Amino acid sequence: MGQDLYETFPAVKDMYAEAGAVLGCDLAEISFTGPDETLKQTQYTQPALFVHSVAMNTLLAERGYTPEATAGHSLGEYSAVVAAGTLTFSEALRVVKVRAEEMAKAGETARGSMAAIIGADESQIEEICQTAEADGVIVPANLNAPGQVVLSGDAGAIAKAVEVAKTLGIRRAMQLNVSGAFHSPLMKPARDALQEALNSVTFRDSNVPVYQNATAQAEKSGINIRENLVKQLENPVRWEAIIRAFWVGGYKEFYEVGSGKVLQGLNRRILPESINVGFGTVSDLDKLNV
C-alpha cells in the first residue's frame, strides 16, 4: 500500500518521513511490510490509509487533476478535507493521529463490534436492531449502498443481530474483524480529545464542496466542516446519500483516490450509470499519459 509511490517519488518519501516523525513509528515500514497484526491496529491503519490517499492526491494535483467536489468514507473524509484545501497534510495528519489513538482506546474501553448486513431492506434493518438492542447498544454505522448496511455496537448486540438476520433469511450477515464499535455511541470516550485536536488546527473554507459523512450535504464553511468531523465519530457514514447528493449536484464521474476499490463498487451499486475510476498506484498515474 503506497510502496510504489514511495520508491518512485521523493515527495511521497518525504510525506512518509513526516508521518513517521509525528506518529513516533516507521509508518513506511509498517505500511509496506507489516506485520499484518500491526497494520490492522486502528492507530496504524488510519494514518497508513490517510498518507497513501493524500500522497496520491498530491501527485494527481501536480499533473493538473484536481477535484470539483470531494467526499471520503469515515477516515477518508480527512483526505477529502485536505484535497478540498481546508487543512494541510501536516495539520490533518496531527488530527488523524489523535483520532486513531483515541478510537483505539475507546475500542479497548468498550468492547464493541460491527457486522455487515447484505440484502436487507430498511424495515428489516430496523427489526434487527430493535430485537438485538436487548443485548446492548446497536445502531447503523455505515449506510453504504442499497442492501448494504454495517451495524455497530456492543459485542453481544452485534452477535444477536447476526443471528436475527439469519432467521429473517437475509442473504449475508457477518461479524467484522474490527477493534471497536466505530460510528456508534461507544466512541463517545474519544470525542473530547478529537474535538481538542480539531480545535488546535485552522480550518479554512474549502476550495470546493465537501460532502460530509454526518449530513450527506455539501459544505464549504471551515467551521461547519470541523463540527461535522466531530459528529462523524458517533454517527453513521451516509455514503449512499452522499453519492446521490453528488448526482443531484451534477457530478457524474467519481475518482477513488487511495487504497482499494471498495468505493467504486459501492458507487456502481448506488448509481449503475455513474463513471468510477481508481487511482492508487504508479501504473494508475501512467494511464494519464496514454
| pLDDT tens digits along 41-87 | 889 999 999 999 999 999 999 999 999 999 999 999 999 999 999 99
DSSP code of residue 189:
G
Task: Give all strands (DSSP E) within the chain, no chain letters.
Answer: 112-118, 138-145, 148-154, 172-175, 210-211, 218-219, 253-257, 275-279
Where does residue 130 rank: exposed (0-12), middle (13-18), buried (19+ CB within 10 A)? exposed
Confidence of residue 290 (pLDDT cuts 50, 70, 90): very low
Report yes or no: 270 and 147 within 8 Å, Cβ to Cβ.
no
Share of the chain above pLDDT 90, in %: 92
| Element of type H or E holding 38 | helix 36-39
Asked about 200 being catalytic, the answer comes back as no
- In this predicted structure, what is the pLDDT of residue 110? 85
Grid cell listed for 74: 469515515
Query: For 213-234, how does the pLDDT look when each residue is reduced to its tens digit (9 = 90+)?
Result: 999 999 999 999 999 999 999 9
Instruction: Lowest mean pLDDT of 4-8, 109-113, 139-143, name the range.
Output: 109-113
- Which of 73, 113, 179, 183 is flagged as catalytic? 183
For the segment 265-289, the average pLDDT, to the nearest whole number, is 94
Residues 6+ apart with CB under 8 A from 169: none
Query: What distance in Å separates the CA atoms of residue 54 and residue 249, rounded to the nearest whole number?
Result: 24
How many whole angstroms from its chain centre is CA 20?
21
Report yes or no: 210 and 80 within 8 Å, Cβ to Cβ.
yes
For the segment 119-125, the average pLDDT, to the nearest whole number, is 96
For the segment 20-37, the average pLDDT, to the nearest whole number, is 92
Report yes or no: 173 and 116 within 8 Å, Cβ to Cβ.
yes
Asked about 183 being catalytic, the answer comes back as yes
- pLDDT over 60 at 165, yes or no: yes
Query: What distance in Å separates the CA atoms of residue 265 and residue 272, rounded to the nearest whole number?
Result: 10
First and final C-alpha spacing in the chain: 24
Share of the chain above pLDDT 70, in %: 99
Query: For 169-226, how does the pLDDT look when each residue is reduced to its tens digit (9 = 90+)?
Result: 999 999 998 889 999 999 999 999 999 999 999 999 999 999 999 999 999 999 999 9
For the segment 247-257, the average pLDDT, to the nearest whole number, is 96
For the segment 235-244, the average pLDDT, to the nearest whole number, is 98
Grid cell listed for 225: 466542516
Confidence of residue 144 (pLDDT cuts 50, 70, 90): very high
Place of cell 486513531: 100
Bridge partners, 152 (sequence order): 114, 139
What domains can be seen in the chain, in order of their start residue? 3-107+186-289 (3.40.366.10), 111-179 (3.30.70.250)
- Which of 31, 53, 73, 74 is flagged as catalytic? 74
